[in-house]
A and B are shown apart, each in its own frame.
Chain A
Amino acid sequence: MSTPYTFETKLLHNKHKFDPETGAVSVPIQHASTFHQKDIETFGKYDYSRSLNPTREAVEEVVAELEEGTHGFAFSSGMAAISTAFLLLSQGDHVVISEDVYGGTYRMVTTVLNRFGIDHTFVDMTNIAEVEAAVLPNTKVFYVETPSNPLLKVTDIEAISLLAKKYNAWTFVDNTFLTPALQKPLTLGADVVLHSATKFLSGHSDVIAGVAVVKDADLAKQIGYLQNSFGAVLGVQDCWLLLRGIKTLHVRMKHSCDGAKIIAEHLQNHPCIKKVHYPGFEDHPQYAIQRKQALNAGAVFSFELHSEEAMRTFVENVKLPVFAVSLGAVESILSYPAKMSHAAMDPAARAERGITDSLLRLSVGLENPQDLINDFDTALKKTAALHYI
């Protein structure tokens, strides 16, 4: 299935570049829930849409190719993809997981998986010694988010994958922040790549979707079985919209990454900003690892103001970015992790992880970065005037 084309060309030219029957250059949306069968004994490739649908199959094959995996699976949300992947585990198994993982994954692990007897240990994934110390005889999964959300800590995927192999466990990598345009965890040794495809893959704030990609036939069989059994599949309209979004992934990522760098640098030099967490800075603790395993630092970063009050004034005065949950859209999105993405985490756990009450996360969209800088500067001026910082 792999073609000799470069990544940006593959986004457009893949097995599904046109419909074999009509030549249509856009994949048709197959609403059919069931398919006519010709034989009483042997059914055709498609029988019921939960099991396999031609439109969903198209997006699944496209993401598998982009992640350099062999099998892709599309789910009704990022959490549906993550939950289904966790269903690979059994009672008595143990997960070693990034401590500053997305709040929804944290909630799943701490309040749902524990009820089914699946245990976990939170670790600083950037510290390999600490990760290895957390390994138990029943450890089955190392769950990595890199860069992490919202503190942008970078984990060495290759090192964790090697460790996982040593203990006969799987490595799951949430690749939502960077997408295969910038980072391909399967090529670095990971077993399962997960995405909230709602974010950069789709990119337009108009689809809720999740994706899992694997490179191993046996693992693919198991996830395929779970996808069909659990049934949290992506609807066909949304599959088509996701396919449509993927076509501009490369150009969107490029513009947003360039913008993120400019804005992060600007904020870092601003007296009202206490700290900027951005893996594209040379003094970022894992700058070298990021350079090694990804093509860019990405389009998301977080920053802290000097106080919660200052943060509030800033947010009240920012006009251009959407103040909302989510990221990876054409519109820049500013969010407040303490009350949004990480609200499911209790305050003590948040404080321990460095997710302070003055921390904001910015996902840079497709606006002109200068318009965003102008907007931030105006808001910061008001913040400074009110809080004398």
Chain B
Amino acid sequence: MYSLETKLAQIGNRSEKTTGAVNPPVYFSTAYRHAGIGESTGYDYTRTGNPTREILEKAIADLEDGDRGFACSSGMAAIQTILSLFQSGDEWIISKDLYGGTYRLLEQGYKKWGLRCTYVTTSDTDTLRAAISPNTKAIFLETPTNPLMEQTDISEVASIAKEHGILLIVDNTFYTPIIQQPIRLGADIVIHSATKYLGGHNDVLAGLIVAKGEELCNELALHHNSAGAVLSPFDSWLLMRGMKTLALRMEKHEENAKILCSFLKEHDAVVDVLYPGRGGMISFRIQHESWVNPFLQNLTLISFAESLGGVESFITYPATQTHADIPLEVRLETGVDNRLLRFSVGIENANDLIKDLDKAFSIAKGIAKEVTI
């Protein structure tokens, strides 16, 4: 049994028997010729199964220690595919601090179709337990949460879920299997926006699902194929290319994040720093809301952009970007206020990042001063 970094570097290698190609071919073919009736090669139509996508799906299943993987056209497509497992009248318990896109899909989409969601602070297991009703069919965790970095004890929630016969779904986008393997801790399904750390280069949109248990996997395979939000062969290949350096990137992201955390904590323009202790994501609150815009405008190295997990550092303003679809009062109550910034620390040199932040903070403070005068 190899370690994770060895598994990552070797994704797809030795998969091609005919030519010995070290790098797996990209199969663009949509259909597969059969020798005769009932003589499928194992591939019929590319939505159902594609040899390139299959290598990726097996790799992520192995990395997350699940039984089967499913590659989807985006992280949201992965969540949508999982939602197909449920029906009207079912209930979900879900993290209160949550990615805005997931919130939108549930509130503006699935609510209409009779799926009810109860939003709780999942790190508080008593509240979580109290929210369970006879109709509760799943618990959906983000840990750490986006953007407030709250962590939930997956093992504890897994035992609560098992006790009640409820599925446990964990969004592992922020940590990836390098840091956290939720299935090993008792989760049934793990999902990823693979656009983020797994892809890692801000150039491929993708989602991944890994599940444990034969029945659950068969059901997901049915919906994955029926709804058809599958990942294209080229993007599957590109995603695998990104995953080969995941271990190295994650190590550097984390090393940088820890350095940047200390810098931000010491800086007088910053009031709060939220960092869960691992990974490359930090959130922080700037002293005054009026400083946010000049701060963002004066960053020259770090990009002000929506997304995370790439080699390049990004700062996001959740209030108007990732969490814009969450009603103001809900957003403020959760703590996603107008002074909060989310920082996806890249793999640049940490000192270059510090200099950029420091300069932008000074300019923002200067501009704010002029305004008050």
Contacts and interface: CB of A to CB of B under 8 A. Distances in A.
B248 A8 contact: no
A279 interface: no
A67 to B, nearest CB: 18
Nearest to A332: B9
Interface size classification for chain A = 35 or more
Contacts of B203: 25-26, 244
Contact of A255 (B20, B248, B312): B248
Q: Would you call the interface of chain A mostly helix, strand, loop, or mixed?
A: loop
A365 B8 CA distance: 11
A89 interface: no
Given A8-B347, A206-B241, A252-B245, A367 B312 contact: no
Nearest to B8: A366
Please indicate which of the listed interface residues B2, B3, B249 has the most CB atoms of chain A within 10 Å of its own CB.
B2
Interface size classification for chain B = 20 to 34
Contacts of B328: none
Contacts of B349: 5-9
A177 to B, nearest CB: 19
B22 A205 contact: yes
A25 B249 contact: no
B239 to A, nearest CB: 12
A204 B2 contact: no
B348 to A, nearest CB: 4
A247 B9 contact: no
A204 B239 CA distance: 12
A247 B311 contact: yes
A206 B5 CA distance: 19
Interface stretch (A11-19, A43-51, A72-80, A96-104): A11-19
A18 B251 CA distance: 25
B152 interface: no
B359 to A, nearest CB: 12
A252 B248 contact: yes
B14 to A, nearest CB: 8
B248 A25 contact: no
B201 interface: yes
Contacts of A333: 22
B248 A12 contact: no
A331 B9 CA distance: 6
Interface string B191-220: 000000000011100000000000000000
B22 A331 contact: yes
A23 B306 CA distance: 12
Contacts of B23: 204-206
Contact of B244 (A17, A18, A204, A371): A204
A248 interface: yes
Contacts of A366: 5, 8-9, 244-245, 247-248
A322 B24 CA distance: 13
B347 A371 contact: no
18 contacts: A13-B352, A23-B305, A25-B305, A25-B310, A204-B23, A204-B244, A244-B203, A244-B241, A247-B201, A251-B347, A329-B22, A331-B9, A333-B22, A365-B9, A367-B5, A367-B9, A368-B5, A368-B6
Given A25-B310, A248-B245, 19 more contacts: A5-B301, A5-B349, A6-B352, A9-B301, A9-B348, A12-B312, A13-B301, A13-B348, A206-B241, A322-B22, A324-B22, A329-B22, A331-B10, A333-B22, A366-B244, A367-B10, A368-B3, A370-B3, A371-B3
- The 3 A-B pairs of least Cβ separation, nearest first, read A367-B6, A9-B348, A366-B9
Interface of B: 2-3, 5-6, 8-10, 13, 20, 22-23, 201-203, 241, 244-245, 247-249, 251-252, 301, 303, 305, 310-312, 346-349, 351-352
Interface of A: 5-9, 12-13, 17-18, 23, 25-26, 204-206, 244, 247-248, 250-252, 254-255, 320, 322, 324, 329-333, 365-368, 370-371
